[in-house]
Amino acid sequence: MASALILRNRNYRLLFASGALTNLGDGLVMLAIPWLATLLTREPVAIAAVAAAGRLPWLFFALPAGVIADQVDRRKLIARADLLRATLVGAILWLALSAPGAGAIWLLAALTFLLGAAEVLRDNAAQTILPDIVTPSDLEAANGQMWSVEQLTGQFIGPPLAGFLIASSVALPFGLDIAALMLAAGMIWMISLAPRPKVQQNFFGALKEGIAFMRSDRLLLRLAIVLGCANFIAMGTMTVQVLFAQDVLSLTATQYGFLLSIAALGAITGSLTAPKLVQWCGTQSCLYASIAIWGIGYGTIGLTTSAIPMAFALFSVMAAAMLWNVITVSWRQRRIPTELLGRVNSIYRFFGWGSMPLGAMAAGAMVALLEPSLGRELALRAPFFTAAALCLCLLLYAISRLQLD
């Protein structure tokens, strides 16, 4: 049972609580950073650059992060990454409190890039350390709970709380994030694990071994490619979503925060029900259903004229995304040998997450190019229609090339 795993496993309990805190902070800045960006500029390409900057580190640092996770104490790596993130959020807090000049948007993009780099180290190590903390039979339950608390604090609580705080000052969410990150780092430091054999090769030798394993496992490689395409699509829609909410639906920061909390409720629902859905319907059916629901959801947002249909669409998209995550992460953690998990997982996420900044910039460029001829509203709707069409193509590929059962 979910509660039994938390009660009987002290290390998992600390990891779970730390994840809750860091994701609460992530939820706060998830709304606060793009909202701060819109206060600095209304240019869609510049706003897209800030969104892309947060994901660009996956292209540059995902592979080194995997080698590092296999060579050092993962517990200390997670804690130090959280402390580094707290420092960087402090710099963004200073920017929010200062009188910004014309180049402030690019300073925000630079700080967001550095914050994303620290997140790459933290997230890869956190996902890699889980098999050291729970038994293989508990992986689905543990992953489902971790994804659930991530969505509960990071999307259901964090964004609406940020919206309330921004009404007083845009700086407040950043201050709360700093406190959450520091507490989370302390909890990770309290985890106690037996010494783990470390990789003995040099950096490039260790990386080459991980790449060789990834190349030899064609199914794992295909799964990474599908994830990369899905995240390219998702990041494109997320990038223009804040402008769509403001300029088309006329939502305030508080209203937008509540909209994101509805999406998080969908994610929580998806992550908690995923093990049962897989048991009832099978892995393949659930994977295909996830992709189909993404496409329907994006198309619905492109057509909507009010927040209510958009809320239902986001609920469905996020529920499907968590169903996908619980299935594929647990499958990966079993399939990849423990001594290679950090490196292969980082290569997988290089494909899966490295596409996100490209999606962000593509969506921003699309809006900028279409706005002169179509107008602001149709230009902001275009990325959602494009996403729906791309999901259909992705579903056809998955049906023909992905067989996980």
- Interval 5-62: pLDDT, tens: 787 888 999 999 999 999 999 989 988 898 888 888 877 778 878 888 887 888 788 8
pLDDT, tens digit, 9 for 90 and up, residues 338-356:
778 888 888 888 888 788 8
**Cα 128 from Cα 343, distance rounded (Å):** 9
Q: What is the mean pLDDT of residues 271-292?
A: 88
pLDDT of residue 18: 94
Tokens for 8, please give them.
Answer: 């009987």
pLDDT of residue 101: 64
User: Pseudo-torsion of CA 355, 358, 360, 366, nearest 10°?
Assistant: -140
Tokens for 341, please give them.
Answer: 């998990």
Among the ranges given (38-42, 368-372, 398-402), the one the predictor scored with the smallest mean pLDDT: 38-42
What is this structure's pTM? 0.74
**Cα 247 from Cα 242, distance rounded (Å):** 9
- Domain formed by 10-190+202-401, architecture: Up-down Bundle (1.20)
Confidence tier at 314 by pLDDT (50, 70, 90): very high
Confidence tier at 1 by pLDDT (50, 70, 90): very low
Q: Name the more confident of 85 and 210.
A: 85
pLDDT, tens digit, 9 for 90 and up, residues 156-214:
788 888 888 888 888 899 999 999 999 999 999 999 887 766 555 677 888 888 889 98
Determine the 3-state secondary structure of 203 from DSSP.
helix
Determine the 3-state secondary structure of 134 from DSSP.
coil
pLDDT of residue 229: 94
Q: Where are the domains of the chain?
A: 10-190+202-401
Among the ranges given (72-81, 272-281, 319-328), the one the predictor scored with the smallest mean pLDDT: 272-281
Confidence tier at 65 by pLDDT (50, 70, 90): confident
**Cα 399 from Cα 405, distance rounded (Å):** 13
